[in-house]
Amino acid sequence: QEAASKVLVAVGQRFVNQVMEEVLTKFQPGILPHYFVVRTFADLAVSNVFGMVPFLNSILGTMLPMLGMAKQDHMKSVFCYALQRFSESIQEYLANLDQAPD
């Protein structure tokens, strides 16, 4: 699962829309996602900042209501990790707005 996540992140550096289309099917409101779905979002957010920041509004809108569902420590930690990485990508995006495609 970790290797598959890393492959998706690597492919997402060039084809972020196609990767997000597939991964978002595993990220449904009200259903706690798999650990590596959240981890993939987080890693992709920092590996392809300009490709991922436009998706963050949707991701966070789905993720934030799920935070209370995370009872196991590994899920709590991956949500924290994702929020950290999303914050880092937003900071980088804002610092380089002149390079933003949208």
Give 17-44 as a DSSP string: HHHHHHHGGG--TTSPPPHHHHHHHHHH
Q: Where are the beta strands (DSSP E) in 1-102?
A: none
At 83 the pLDDT is 97
Average pLDDT in the chain: 94
Give yes or no for residue 56 having a pLDDT over 80: yes
- What whole-number percentage of the chain has pLDDT above 70? 100
pLDDT of residue 102 exceeding 80, the answer is: no
Angle, alpha carbons 59-84-51 (nearest 5°): 50
Q: Is 5 exposed, middle or buried (0-12, 13-18, 19+ CB in 10 A)?
A: buried
Both tokens of 56, joined, read: 């963050």
Domain positions in the chain: 1-97
Specify the DSSP class assigned to residue 1.
Answer: -
Nearest to 39 by CA among 10, 74, 5: 5
Residue 42: half-sphere exposure toward Cβ, Cα within 13 Å: 16
